[in-house]
Amino acid sequence: MSDQTPTEPFDQSQVSRGDTVEIEGDSLFMHHTVTAAPRQKPLRVDKFLANLLPFVTRSKIKNAALVGSIYVNGLVVKASYKVKPDDVVGLLLPYPPSEESQPEPMDLDIRYEDEALIIVHKSAPMVCHPGVSNRTGTLIQGLQWHVEKSLPIGTNDHTRPGLVHRLDKNTTGLMVIAKTEYAMSHLAQQFFHRTTGRSYNAIVWGDVPEDQGTIGGYIGRNAKNRKTYSIYEDESKGKRAVTHYEVIERFGVATLVKLKLETGRTHQIRVHMKHIGHTLIGDPEYGGDTYPGGPPTKNFRQFVKNCTAIMPRQALHARELSFDHPMTKKRMTFTSDLPEDFLLLLEKLRRLAH
């Protein structure tokens, strides 16, 4: 019997060549590809990878095989597959938890927890993980402290919660965090293949003309401002991005929309809504701190200022999250209420509309 499992062809263009790290949008993955030598002797693929990628632990390779994240010539294979000459072997891994970040006590809004994962509601302006300008106070550091304090005294457990996706600093809403290597591998594979379900609510400037629609294009860094992104028609300038939207409520000067991601690129919703002329309210990086219409009156300018005072961040909230549980394989769905600043802004817009 063949060790190859029938599946959709794996897109080799999405795999980094060599032992490089690629962070794809709001999801975190490591991609490795290795091409077997022309005189390669038959060897189990898990041993083949362990020999050529010594920086990847055997447990990570084992978990990758269990969740279907090892590919040969574009097809998913089992750990027992025998590598042959000139085979192209691909390995998908979740981005590893930071070894440098230190646990910090903080109040976290945890909505669900079991032995494999945590569902947390991220507030604004919390950053997901440490960076050059954010060494402390990040979500992952708070989660490290939460996990470690729950362990029995004297336990020598080096479990570190791991991110498999992220939200922008000023975006609120639901996130799933893995507590084990196996859960990280399983969840990363779901995010990579877009089998998770994620929907967002956003409040945008202007009256969105269509009740529903789809926005596409290729998202890449803005040539003039490298901190922001733009839509390009040329695929060589960015990565394919697709967002589906549906109007929930209209206020004349603004619209409440529901958005679903078909892909997960950095700033995807913010860039797509700006692209169709409806910037998220309060989003300073994409012009959401001003009204995009014609010259407003003095009173309306003050109204806009009052709105952005209520919402001094992008009006974006990760409302719903669904995925298959790594252990039970059952579908789980979580929904989050809109945060207070969202509700206050909606109340103000409704008063104006009526």
Catalytic residue among 87, 168, 283, 289: 168
Instruction: Give the separation between CA 303 and CA 197, rounded to whole angstroms.
Output: 36
Beta-bridge mates of residue 119? 112, 176
Phi, psi of 166 (to 5 degrees): -150, 165
Instruction: Give the separation between CA 50 and CA 62, rounded to whole angstroms.
Output: 10
Residue 67: closest CA among 183, 178, 160? 183
Q: Is 168 a catalytic residue?
A: yes
Locus of tokens 């998220």: 280
**C-alpha dihedral over 81, 85, 88, 90, to 10 degrees?**
40
Query: What is residue 64's DSSP assignment?
Result: H
Structure tokens at 346: 């909606």
Query: What is the rounded end-to-end Cα distance, in angstroms, of the chain?
Result: 68
Q: CB 331: neighbour CB atoms within 10 A?
A: 10
**Which residues are part of the catalytic machinery?**
168
